[in-house]
């Protein structure tokens, strides 16, 4: 079975997980789902993306997925190792997730003049 990532390609959250997989030289089966139309088999309890399956272990939330991949498959080498640096990392991840995603991605990128697959996000504003 191995790793399976349920992902929507334009999603920055999914791209972040895919960058981590690439950086760690991990292979994952990518199952495309569209959280905006409900297309595809989406296991996420809130209908979002991404979700990572590692055999029978299922995980949502990008920061948690990154932390899992980093500790399970990389001995933690992708993150800092001092308490303060770890705290800063978690702080920045939380700020970006809670404060930056909506204004930067949903209100700007998804409404850019250049047509983008995520433009359909606009309909959910």
Interface ranges with ligand GSH (CB under 6 A): 8, 11, 13, 35-36, 48-49, 61-63, 97, 124
Task: Kindly tell me which of 46 and 75 has the beta carbon lying closer to ligand GSH.
Answer: 46
CA 107 – CA 122 distance, rounded (Å): 8
CB of 49 to ligand GSH, least distance (A): 4
Closest-CA residue to 11 (of 125, 110, 114, 115)? 110
Q: Quote the radius of gyration of the chain (alpha carbons, Å).
A: 15
Beta bridge partners of 53: 4, 58
Q: Which residue is nearest to ligand GSH (CB)?
A: 48
CB of 103 to ligand GSH, least distance (A): 13
Task: Kindly tell me which of 30 and 48 has the beta carbon lying closer to ligand GSH.
Answer: 48
Task: Kindly tell me which of 25 and 124 has the beta carbon lying closer to ligand GSH.
Answer: 124
CB of 36 to ligand GSH, least distance (A): 6
Cis peptide bond N-terminal to 63, omega within 30: no
Number of C-beta neighbours around residue 73 at 10 A:
17
CB of 91 to ligand GSH, least distance (A): 15
Task: Kindly tell me which of 36 and 67 has the beta carbon lying closer to ligand GSH.
Answer: 36
> 102-114 as b/e, with b when 16 or more CB fall inside 10 Å?
eeebeeebbeeee
């Amino acid at each position: 079975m191995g790793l399976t990532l349920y992902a929507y390609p334009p999603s920055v959250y999914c791209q972040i997980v895919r960058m981590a997989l690439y950086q760690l030289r991990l292979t994952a089966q990518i199952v495309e789902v569209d959280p905006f139309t409900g297309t595809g088999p989406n296991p996420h309890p809130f209908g979002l993306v991404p979700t990572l399956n590692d055999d029978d272990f299922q995980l949502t939330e990008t920061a948690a997925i990154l932390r899992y991949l980093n500790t399970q498959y990389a001995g933690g080498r992708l993150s800092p190792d001092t308490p303060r640096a770890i705290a800063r990392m978690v702080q920045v991840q939380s700020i970006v997730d809670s404060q930056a995603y909506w204004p930067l991605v949903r209100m700007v990128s998804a409404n850019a003049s250049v047509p983008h697959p995520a433009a359909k996000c606009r309909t959910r504003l």
